[in-house]
Amino acid sequence: MLKSITKEILLHSYLNFRLLGINTATMSLEQAKQVAAYKAVDEFVTNDCVFGVGSGSTVVYAVQRLAERVETDKLKVICIPTSFQAKQLIIKHKLTLGELETNPQIDVTIDGADEVDSNMILIKGGGGCLLQEKIVASCSKKLIVIADYTKDSVKLGDRYKKGIPIEVVPMAYNPIKNKIITLFGGEIKLRSAVAKAGPVVTDNGNFILDWLFPNQSLDWQKVNTTIKMIPGVVETGLFINMCQKAYFGQPEGNVIERSASI
């Protein structure tokens, strides 16, 4: 019985891939991102909606799918970006660009994540875009995460080993670093740029600290509030009680869904 259900799921996934033009023989991480992104867009984007566009490599597929749907289904969608990258994607695909000033309420935001734990707590900001992402998510009726299977964790830190990104005002990075270590322990790295000497500078002109937290059983709500109270901290990459649903693309091509119990 179980065998035939599994077989049916695989066949269904295979047929979906063929329809999406995905080669099932070479399912890669990128394709796992793509199936999750396409599914989320197909389920959540409707005509006349205000849509929050997340940041990162998985979101590229969501915008691709959105552009296809806008074209074929003649959908009217206003897109609110969460970063410079997201804005460029919206422009590239000739979608309608909006802003929070004129569209303060967003129907649904689809965004990536660096890790999602079993309580739907997210680590975000691996690409340095956490501040605008959190603002846009906070203005959204729904935040939907799209990710490949490597982001699906039980506890934060199970799979994402780079720590929790924290966006800080540049002049305060060193005292903030010391304060977090005194409060909670662990190790903190000022994120360095790759094609530039010195630190990463965010879309908002700030620095990013990556906090390698000392244990996985911390009270994340408390940690988030405490860190946010340190002067000079702009935002943390901990997204708590914000995400309603996550889609994880699998190596076999199916998509596993997880919903929040809130």
Ligand X SMILES: O=C[C@H](O)[C@H](O)[C@H](O)COP(=O)(O)O
| Active site residues per annotation | 133
- Record the tokens describing residue 260, joined without a space: 């929040």
- Pick the closer one to ligand X by CB: 178 or 192: 192
- Residues 38 and 120: their CA atoms lie apart, in Å, by 21
Do residues 257 and 247 touch, judged by C-beta distance below 8 A?
Answer: yes
Nearer to ligand X, 114 or 179 (CB): 114
Residue 1: partners with Cβ closer than 8 Å, 6 or more residues away: none
Question: Minimum distance between the CB of residue 34 and ligand X, rounded to whole angstroms?
Answer: 11
Contacts of residue 184, Cβ cutoff 8 Å, sequence gap at least 6? 213, 214, 218, 223, 226
| Nearer Cβ to ligand X (98/112) | 112
State which residue has the least CB distance to ligand X.
Answer: 56
d(CA 241, CA 247): 16
* Beta carbon of residue 67, minimum distance to ligand X (angstroms, whole number): 18
Could you tell me the smallest distance in angstroms from the CB atom of residue 5 to ligand X? 30
Other Cβ atoms within 10 Å of 206 Cβ, number: 23
> C-alpha distances in angstroms, 129 versus 31, 52, 60, 133?
23, 14, 14, 6
Judged by the rule CB under 6 A, the positions of this chain that interact with ligand X are 54-58, 111-114, 124-130, 133
- Nearer to ligand X (CB atom), residue 45 or residue 179: 45
* CA end-to-end span of the chain: 33
Q: What is the nearest approach in angstroms of ligand X to the Cβ of residue 55?
A: 5
